[in-house]
Amino acid sequence: MRPGYAINELVREFGVTPRTLRFYEDKGILAPQRRAKVRHYSERDRTRLKLTLRGKRLGLSLEECTEVIDMYEPGQANDTPQLLHLCEKIRQHRSLLIEKMRDIEDTLKAMDEVERSCLEKLLANTAG
Amino acid sequence: MRPGYAINELVREFGVTPRTLRFYEDKGILAPQRRAKVRHYSERDRTRLKLTLRGKRLGLSLEECTEVIDMYEPGQANDTPQLLHLCEKIRQHRSLLIEKMRDIEDTLKAMDEVERSCLEKLLANTAG
DNA sequence: TCTACAGTTTACGTAAACGTAAATAAGCAA
DNA sequence: TTGCTTATTTACGTTTACGTAAACTGTAGA
């Protein structure tokens, strides 16, 4: 039994349903081997799943997730035009991520404000 | 003409369609006044729209967005149980945001790696 | 060998977030 | 007032990302 994962192992580890894994397979995100119809996921599958779920948490669509994953697995992009194209895609995704970062920072600041005034009111309540 | 916004002003400013604004109205996110059937959006509407779109960029559903917005507009939450509940919601949302933050940082690091190896290859190409 | 059970396939269903088309109404310019 | 443009309403359509039910299969244990 080579290192690999049954469907239910990934299901438990990542808190998704089997349906989700099969759906991702349909979409070409995962490509488990079969031993008599039964799926066996590789380390690479697990990584791609992890990256996909991370992308989803950031609001990416599955298609965008695969785009990002494809950037991580440049495979054989060795000629100059392809490398330049990859660089450009990286630049774009990075600026999107930085925008999200700013969004989060702004939201966190605002929430700190709300919490502060909330605590003040609570203090006033216990004092009164 | 009091300070306010026509539907097309918001449409242009935020790059959404009128349909989106009407949809958000249906969902109770926006509540423009009417002058003979025509919508006029207030400053508050504009702010709520802005916060909604920010939330969407972070992968929140519209329902989650309204939850967050409601936190910003605590209105009259003055009794202790409500204030405590608000504090708890803040705590939860904050931890979600921090998780997203980490996701972004991890992704950025990985992308930096990919870019570096990409630039190396490019350099090798021009050198060869 | 029987069976319980985990996994698979097929296919229709669903919720969210709008898109789009058609008919109607309102505002504005000449 | 006519004509054009913009806004509104109604309602069905669409995409994404799965959920869910039904029927089948493979396999490990009693």
Tens of pLDDT, residues B10-47: 999 999 999 999 999 999 999 999 998 999 999 999 99
The Cα–Cα gap between B48 and B45 comes to 5
Q: Which pLDDT value is given to residue B1?
A: 41
Sequence-distant (6+) residues with CB within 8 A of B108 are: A94, A97, A98
B81 close to A (CB below 8 A): no
Shortest Cα distance from B97 to chain A (angstroms)? 6
Contact between residue B30 and residue B49 where contact means Cβ atoms under 8 Å apart: yes
CB of A59 within 8 Å of a chain B CB? The answer is: yes
Asked whether residue B121 carries a pLDDT value surpassing 80, the answer given is yes
Contacts of B27 (CB under 8 A, 6+ apart): B62, B66
Give φ, ψ of B39 to 5 degrees. -80, 140
Cα B44 to Cα B51: distance, rounded to the nearest angstrom: 11
Residue B50's alpha-carbon distances to A93, B32, B40, B54, B93, in angstroms, are: 22, 15, 16, 6, 18
Question: Is residue B103 predicted with pLDDT exceeding 80?
Answer: yes
Burial of B10 per CB tally in 10 Å (0-12, 13-18, 19+): buried
Mean pLDDT rounded to a whole number for chain B = 93
- The reply to whether A57 Cβ lies less than 7 angstroms from strand D is no
Contact in structure between B71 and B93 (CB atoms under 8 Å): yes
Give the side-chain half-sphere CA count within 13 A for B112: 7
Write down the pLDDT at residue A128.
Answer: 65
Partners of B33 in the β-ladder: B40
- Cα B116–B120–B122 angle (5° rounding)? 115
Instruction: Please tell me the pTM assigned to this model.
Output: 0.90
Alpha carbon distance A8, A25 (integer Å): 15
Which of B87, B118, B119 faces A115 most closely, judged by CB atoms? B87
* Alpha carbon B5 to its chain's center: 19
Q: Is strand C within 7 Å of residue A61 (CB)?
A: no
Give pLDDT tens digits for A7-20: 999 999 999 999 99
Distance A63 CA to D15 C1' (A): 12
Six-digit token pair at A80? 């100059």
Strand C and B62 CB separated by under 7 Å: yes
